[in-house]
Chains A and B, each alone.
Chain A
């Protein structure tokens, strides 16, 4: 099984997303690192490191990390620098959108997908299947 790690600025956003994932793919282990150690909006390298380690402990096949915004990438990189080499080889970081990517990835992981497959589905561009095909391309309401 592959686990997911959700990294973001808002703890509330991530706990809501985790609840959605638990419904869509209850088997997939999900760890979250949202907000700073002081409970404010932001990211925390120590908190991210703990979440990644928790995910790896739950998932022998590795973990895919998703992040909300690019400014989380610096703290994430610092956290990953502190992993042991044996842990690092089991981690992949997704360029995908947090919400859509996490839902796809959780379902893929629950179905037994390997690390590369979970990463790949997480990076499918969001929005491609959100609306029916006949919805106007310029975003206006149909009809």
Chain B
């Protein structure tokens, strides 16, 4: 994974979120406070501007992810900003901690993926099945790890992760939320998709599409 791939990913994710912001907000209005799409859009727009201004070392993916995480925590607001920010910052730190100078392939990125997902689980005190981002992120990490073990290339591994995230997001439909704002609704949260799981899948699909373009 190179710095240009990370920059391309974040930029495509920003465009996808911009395109889907009304849908994400509609999902959040059903079970939350109705601002998920707007908040993420604002955060990713700021992030793009900051990346454009600060891209001193375009080939350093770790620092780029940390910078992105900081921008997101500062501008998205609420739980999703903290959780996405933590995920990106943990991924960046894990990537920086690698000793090799060569761009990392899927096998080496498995630990980076899990560092991001663990960051979300730890900060949110959440587990899969609670109608959160983790219902997309954990299946994605498992699929990515399996692809890495099978020595798939990055485009394949990220595509499988995105497929798993989308399937996981759809499976939040019948779940009852026990974490976050949606948990105030209790049983009434069932029958709606979790906005955070949907946006997680959207962001991972952007990664897969950028990896496929550059394969």
Contact = CB atoms under 8 A, between A and B. Distances in A.
A42 interface: yes
B174 interface: no
> Which of B79, B82, B180 has its CB near the most chain A CB atoms (within 10 A)?
B82
B39 interface: yes
Contacts of B77: 9, 35-36, 40-44, 75
Interface in B31-57: 35, 39, 42-43, 46
A74 B79 contact: yes
Contacts of B79: 71, 74
B123 A44 contact: no
A78 B78 contact: no
A12 interface: no
Interface in A122-137: none
B124 A37 contact: no
A38 B46 contact: yes
A37 B88 CA distance: 18
Contacts of B83: 74
B81 A42 contact: yes
Nearest to B32: A71
Nearest to A75: B82
Contact of B86 (A9, A47, A78): A78
A46 interface: yes
Interface string B55-90: 000000000000000100111111101110110000
A38 B46 CA distance: 8
A45 B73 contact: yes
A37 B86 contact: no
Interface in A36-60: 36-38, 40-47
> Which of A40, A41, A42, A46 has its CB near the most chain B CB atoms (within 10 A)?
A42
Interface of B: 35, 39, 42-43, 46, 70, 73-79, 81-83, 85-86, 123-124, 180-181
Interface of A: 9, 35-38, 40-47, 71, 74-75, 77-78
